[in-house]
Structure 1
Amino acid sequence: MQDGTDSGALRHDQIPEIALAWHRAGRGAVLATVVETWGSAPRQPGSQLVIDASGAIMGSVSGGCVEGAVITEALEALEDGRSRVLTFGVSDETAFAVGLACGGTIRVLVEPVGIGLTEDLLAELVAARAARQPRVYAVHLGRWERRLVGLAYDPLTEAAAVRLRSDRSGLEEGDWFLAVHNPGLRMVIVGAVHIAQALAPMARACGYEVTLIDPRETFGAAARFPGERILDEWPDAALASLGPDARTAVVTLTHDTKLDDPAIRAALASDVFYLGCLGSTRTHAKRLDRLRAAGVPDAQLARIHAPVGLDIGAKTPAEIAVSVLAQITQVLRQGA
């Protein structure tokens, strides 16, 4: 596990962590955040870019069409210590040149770290993210008042809770911008089988931290899953150690009741937002009978997606992996 001091080792979705590391290293840091969009915008509100005093960047606020202007403004913000909101209109002709279907408008918040956005506030946000505690960073675009909204009472708590559930940053009445910082997405795959070989890299590409669980040495061999995190414990014990939460998806693929069933029971005892299980309709009916006999109530059993994946006629392991990831995305973004 990286300690966060080397920004080169951090992931592209760890922009607050990179900004804090750059600031503490004396490189200077400015956070640029999309606060509002109209028309065809390649990045959603909440998307971030961090810029240091030399012009080095990590992240994105537009897919490339306005980054140059944002960098220029960020360097000026480091000089004058002032936060600002920038508005960019991208014409249809310019949009086509940078690969967009049509034009649009983007508003970007630019904040120098250590001045308006204090080091202490940013460090508190980074600590909450590391502890998988949901937070909303609230900034008033007129008064430049800033604070983190968590579980404690705050006039913005209700609006923040709605945005956390929808995973969507944006503007609220009164010129408040609420930036959502949900815990990172995780996927736990039970069964280091051929479908998992395709699913794991696809999930990582979609932003999931992936963990494979399989106590069988032959299946869970590192040579079959180079670079993947593999736990060789029994699935229920492994899941208990991982502490699955509302930002975790669990997929069981072993076709072995001794492994799948304990994993399913452990997942159902948690707040995972998705649980999908491989097997035919007939196999799933037998699975439900076993779980009912073990005392799992029907209300919990209804959370299981089985046969796993969207019905797209998938045949190959890679196609099945596509259907599984598509279904997980659907549940994440649209609800069960």
Structure 2
Amino acid sequence: MAELVAPAPAPAPAPALGRGGVNGRYLATRLAHSVFVVWAAYTFSFVVLYLVPGDPVEMMVSNGGVISVTSEQIAELRAEFGVDQSPPAQYLTNLWHAVHLDFGRSLQRGQPALDIIAGAVAPTVALAGAAIVLAVTVGWALALWATLTRVRWMQRLVLLLPALGVAVPSFWIGLVLLQVLSFRWHVLPAFGDDGPRGLVLPTVTLAVPTAAFLSRMLAQSLSRVLADPHVTTARAKGLGRWRIHLHHALRNALPPVLAVAGVLVGNLLAGSVVVETVFSRPGLGRVVETAVTSKDIPVVQALVVLFAIVFVTVNLLADLAHHLLDPRVTLAGPRNG
């Protein structure tokens, strides 16, 4: 008798994908993760600020130059700004208002926290944008140079530069640039926001660590891709090195770099605090410094939420770009079961 063989089970249907391989479940999951990240950042900042010693109202009065203030006036101010409540009550009240984009008034300036941040966004965006353009340009150039050159010692030298760029603190780079280009040679202004010329030194200072990180990652990724079989086939067809790099290797080498885009943006935001302080530039960095040192809770929490939103947005855009570069990657939500 013929042996009966059970038919193979039919494959489970793939989730319905939208255009470009992105479905609604994936977007809903990412949105939920993003909301959680923003909430966690807000909560963590509240706990840290509460644990920092010092009364924010007393710091506000002392920074305002008021010498004699009665205890009744202090109590009125504490009630006005809501810091007379218990920490859980403050947290829930502030969180409810933050959901409605109301972070309260600055304890130091008396203005709405969002208005203070809105007035400082433009200089920081200009600085970060210029630093990103410079970092990407230099990082790609170094990575391509390191993987294109056939001179072994030059390749090692180029690969050594990113390690030095990452190891050197950004504030030290800024101080060296100030000493040489501003104080000694008087080529560029040292401090302030003096138009495009005043943007050069802060941009270079902020871009060096990012360019070093990008060049190192891209060079390593390119080296791996250049060893793949499809690149070997392209060489066998007689294609030139530049064409192989730009048309066959670079696109496949970019996804690992995009995977750390959120880290790079975080480094830029953290670096802007240092750079804008070193060069006495207006911007979010100076606002962060002032708000943290004076325990200006509304401004600090509004900044934390802003930075968290930027972080999750950049990560989502990086994932979408990863899919565009490699259509084999489908952005689908988790399956049930």
Structure 1 length normalisation: TM-score? 0.21
Q: Normalized against structure 2, the TM-score is what?
A: 0.21
Name the structure where helix makes up a greater proportion of residues: 2
Q: Which has the bigger relative contact order, CA under 8 A and spacing at least 6? A: 2
Determine which structure has the larger strand proportion and give its number.
1
Which structure has the larger Rg? 2
